Structure formats: structure tokens, C-alpha cells
Amino acid sequence: MKITAALSGRGGDAPELVELEQEAPRAGEMRIRLVATGICHTDLHEHPGRHSPQPIVLGHEGAGVVEELGEGVSGFAVGDHVILSGNSCGQCPSCLAGRPTYCDLAMPLCFCGKRLDGSTALCQHADEGDHPVHSHFFGQSSFATHAIVPQRTAVKMDKDLPLEKLGPLGCGVVTGAGGVIEALKVGFGDSIAVFGTGGVGLSAVMAAKLVGAKHIVAVDLSDERLELARELGATHTFRGDQEGLADAIRKVTGRGMQFTFNTTNAPPVHTMALDVLAMNGTAGFVAAPLPDANGPWAPQMFAMLAGGRQLRGILGGDANPRTFLPQLADYWRQGRLPFDRLLSFYPFKEIDRAWADAKSGAAIKPVLLMENSDDA
Ligand SMILES: [Zn+2]
Ligand SMILES: [Zn+2]
């Protein structure tokens, strides 16, 4: 079947819209007609490929309608509304424990651009013949009108929810909200400092408010983002470049923060997020620091972790998408998790503009709307 997809690996600033041939879903897979898909920083980093082979169709915050079932698919019907999450094997100890974001096969299943048997679902016709195109990015490759996805990546959602808004629940929102609720288990009366107020950080702020945290600190370099953080629940905001920032954050509670949640990959922020912890506090992070000559060096880190402090890497908000994503949608319905305030919509054909706005930060969470999705 012919589809339109945004292809990476052709040298442009943004993925380029092309026509591709997509095969039918294989056993255990479904064809999804995409209604919308968010653009996440992981997509920006993989164009051109950092971990992934090229050419590839990226995209991993897809939302759409089940159009065709492969052999053996159960629990889904044609016409179901779904959002797509990361791929996982379903059989390793992490998957069996309901923690699929820590699947033993997460890297090959999400980043290798093919099924484990080496096949891809896409190819490009050219005058010189057919050329395979990498697919199955996070089990999705959702920068396209249609995606072939393993049924494990799909999460069924109620049909009265606005499908075009739901895609970012599958990565950006769950990374922030799950990080706070599921991984760090922030609770009533607790204190947390969130570093970076992009889509992940602002989702963390909303989640901290939702669970009743008392002190919610947001740190960023953008005054506009900090203003939004306040509207969404931050009790204190600080510019990341202010003098004496660590002291100012510690003073919010008088003893430092019980939790920090770092959404950036800036080495000084990783140091700061440890430095402002109270005794016995926990620092969660979602991205490793970029290599940096100024550390933090191991002895400095051990000194910061003394006092019962913990440092915790968090993937996908620790969440089981099947149960957690519908819960987040319910909180949205109740007006208690207004993640749609982070979204900016673009027609799929304007992916160049959406890509530029994602890179510059002009849009917090750009969402591409696919043109053939008139009954969404
Ligand atoms: Zn993502
Ligand atoms: Zn697994």
C-alpha cells in the first residue's frame, strides 16, 4: 500500500515528505491510520541518526485508528482508537513485571529501524529498483499517514477523547508525569525541583501538583516558560542563570528538596540537581549529561550522594502504558492534567515549520496532523 511519510537520511534540515510502499501487517502487528503525532527531542536527535540507521521514518508519539489486523492480534478491532508507546518484548523479567520501558530488548526494538528478524515494513520505489527504508522506530515510525505496529505498542483509548491531542501522552507527557508519580513517587506535602520546562518538565510540574506536592520549584532559562510553569502548578520559579541558584532553591524549604527531576542533558544542571537535595533525597533524571570536562567527577558525586541521597535514571516515566496512559487521559478529562496547553498543531505537510519550532523551542510540543484523517 502507498503511504506518505517523512523520511530522514536525505540530508535536509527536517525529514522530507515522500511516497513509500508499506507492506501488510505481519503476525501480531496492526496497521494504524495515524491522525496525529507529536515531535519529541529524541526524534530531533535521530535526524540525522545518532543511534538509528538511515534512511528511516522517525516519530514515536502517534495516535490513530486501527485499520487492519495481522494474524493472531487479539484485544483490538478495526476502528479502535489507539495511542502508541515504546516497543518492548513482552517476555523479559522487566516486561513481565509490568515495567516495559526497561525491557531487555528496548534498544534494538526502539532504535534499530527494523523488526528483530531484520525486516522492515517500508520501501521506496526508485528508477533503479526498490530500496528498503527503516521502519519500526519505537515500534511506530509515526511520521507517516500509516504505521505498522506490534500490538504491544498500542494502547486503546476511549472514543470520546480528542485523538489528535493524545499522542504526546505516549512519550513526553508520560516521561514527566510518570517520572513524578510512578518512579519518584512524589506525594502529598513533598518538595520537588524540576529542571527544564519543556514538555517533559511541565508534565512533571502538573503531576507534582496533581499528587499534592507542597513545594514545586521550576527552573528554566525562559521567562515565558516559567510563567506557564506557575500557571500549571509551580509554587516557585527561578531562572537557571541566576546568581546563588542552589542556595535559593534550598531556601524554599529551608533544608533542600526531597526530590529533583532533571529533564536536561546539561552537565551543570545534573550537578545542581544533586546539590540542592535534602538529606535522604532522590534525584531523578531522564537524559545522561553530555560529556563535559568540568565533571561532575566521581568523588564530587559520591560526596553529594552521602547523606542517604539517591540518583535515579528514569525511562518512560517507569510506567506501564496500558494502565497508566488511560489514567492520564482521565485526569485530563477532569481538568487536573491540562497537558493540551503544551501542544501546537501543524498540518503534516508543514513538518519543516514544526521541526524548526521544536528545535528553537518556539513550540513546546509540536503535533503534526495527518491530512487523510477526516473522521478523527
Ligand atoms: Zn520521546
Ligand atoms: Zn522485554
pLDDT digits (tens, 9 = 90+) for 20-42: 999 999 999 999 999 999 999 99
* Cell output for 293: 570536562
What confidence score (pLDDT) does residue 296 get?
66
Ligand 2 centroid to residue 130 C-alpha, Å: 33
Q: What is the model's pLDDT at position 375? A: 41
How far does the centroid of ligand 2 lie from the alpha carbon of residue 322, in Å? 15
Could you give the CA distance from residue 135 to residue 314 in angstroms, rounded to a whole number? 26
The letter for the amino acid at 338 is: P
| SS3 label, residue 200 | helix
C-alpha span between 281 and 73 (Å, rounded): 44
Q: How far is the CA of 174 from the centre of ligand 1 (A)?
A: 9
Q: Residue 203: nearest ligand to its CA?
A: 1
Q: How confident is the model at residue 244, as a pLDDT?
A: 97
Separation of alpha carbons 163 and 161, rounded Å: 6
Residues 205/233, Cβ–Cβ less than 8 Å: yes
Number of the ligand closest to the Cα of 95 = 2
Ligand 1 centroid–CA 156 distance in Å is 19
| Helices marked H in 50-126 | 93-96, 106-111
Which one-letter DSSP state was computed for residue 342?
G
- In the numeric block, which cell numbers belong to residue 280? 535522604
- 360 CA from centroid of ligand 2 (Å): 35
List the grid coordinates of 194. 524540576
Residue 102 C-alpha to ligand 2 middle, in angstroms?
7
C-alpha cell at 338: 491540562
Q: Which residues, by Cβ under 5 Å, contact ligand 2, an ion?
A: 88-89, 92, 95, 103
The Cα 260–Cα 190 span in angstroms is 11
At 80-121, the pLDDT tens digits run 999 999 999 999 999 999 999 999 999 999 999 999 999 999
What predicted TM-score, i.e. pTM, was given to this entire model? 0.96
pLDDT of residue 373: 43
Mean pLDDT by 10 residues, the chain (376 residues): 95 94 98 98 90 95 98 98 97 96 97 96 86 96 98 97 98 98 98 98 98 98 97 98 98 98 94 96 94 75 92 97 97 98 98 97 97 49
The CA 330 to ligand 2 mean position distance, Å, reads 27
User: Domains of the chain, with CATH numbers?
Assistant: 2-170+338-369 (3.90.180.10), 173-316 (3.40.50.720)
Q: What confidence score (pLDDT) does residue 155 get?
A: 98
Look at residue 48 in the predicted model and tell me its pLDDT: 82
Pairing between β-strand 236-239 and β-strand 277-285 as defined by DSSP bridges: unpaired
